[in-house]
Amino acid sequence: MEALEIIQGLLAGTMTNYRGQYFQLDHARLFDRPEHKPAVILAAGGVKAAGLAGKLGNGLIDPPPLEWSDLRYVFDIKEDCNGKEAIQT
């Protein structure tokens, strides 16, 4: 959470000092801050993570659970662990 608060604050130009449990910043700034703050899009793999992403992020990437057959297709794996052809191209 702290890292996301820091990233959002630095990108917005609203944070220079920060005191958290894990991070402390003194006079921090981004030297090449963009003219318009970019969206911080977060990935979440569960309900708790999605809730946190909703509070601290500007968008959510929520990948569906993948089966081995889906991964083989995504990565175009042609052989299984035994060296046999797994996907016909």
Q: Is residue 88 part of a domain?
A: no
- What is the domain count for the chain? 1
- Model pLDDT, residue 61: 80
- Model pLDDT, residue 83: 46
Q: Is residue 63 part of a domain?
A: yes
- Model pLDDT, residue 71: 47
Q: Which domain holds residue 6?
A: 2-75
pLDDT digits (tens, 9 = 90+) for 37-85: 999 988 877 778 878 888 888 888 866 665 555 545 444 544 444 444 4
- Model pLDDT, residue 74: 45
pLDDT at 25 over 90: yes
The residue among 42 and 23 whose pLDDT is bigger is 23
Interstrand relation of 59-61 and 41-43 (parallel, antiparallel or unpaired): parallel
H helical segments located in 19-67: 47-56
